[in-house]
Amino acid sequence: MHIAIAGNIGSGKTTLTTKLVKHYKWEAHYEDVENNPYLNDFYKDMQRWSFNLQVYFLNSRFRQIISIKNSKKSYIQDRTIYEDAKIFAPNLHHMGLMSTRDFENYMEIFNLMDGFIDGPDLLIYLRASVPILVEQIQKRGREYENSIRLDYLTRLNERYEAWIGEYDKGNLLVIDVDNLDYAEKDEDLSKVIEKIDAKINGLF
């Protein structure tokens, strides 16, 4: 079983991944933010480091998928390879923060990788409004995220909605998180798990 959790920066992916791993007693693949050599530089100078960062994430996510594919264990993955290619890289290109040359090179790499992978058994999309994203980002207090602009988050949200509207890689569960607090409230976590169980049971 391979469940992937998608969502904008601050939507609660890592928190939900941790909660679900504990509940289902599965393995986790987290987004590599602590050891990422480009993240700090990227938020200081997006144009200079955008291509480097996106290739790093692409490589990291591809390795995760191959690891999951070759394992007999069940995994929950924090963010997908599709978000890199369908949302973050195109958004950087659109904003003039990644050159057309770099973007086309990046997409060629992704398209090559995409031919070797399958979508997750279930994709969970965490839908959150920009005010909630900002609140969550401020709450976790990562220094390099302090400079994230509102227009950047807004554009990402728009791209997420467009991508989810056309998602065709497998089963999809959309969870509106604005009025949920599964980090602190067990009843909210139970609601989410019930929805996931219903989807998982429908796979068999």
Backbone φ and ψ for 45, nearest 5 degrees, come out as -150, 85
Q: Which alpha helices (DSSP H) does the chain contain, by range?
A: 13-24, 39-44, 46-69, 81-83, 89-94, 100-114, 130-140, 150-165, 186-201
Told to judge if 178 belongs to the known catalytic residues of this protein, a careful annotator would answer: no
Nearest residue to 29 (alpha-carbon basis) of 60, 7, 56: 60
CA distances, 117 to each of 33, 42, 86, 120, 157 (Å): 23, 28, 16, 9, 25
Out of 32, 45, 78, 151, pick the active-site residue. 78
Do 175 and 194 touch, CB atoms closer than 8 A?
A: no
Q: Annotated catalytic sites, by residue? A: 78
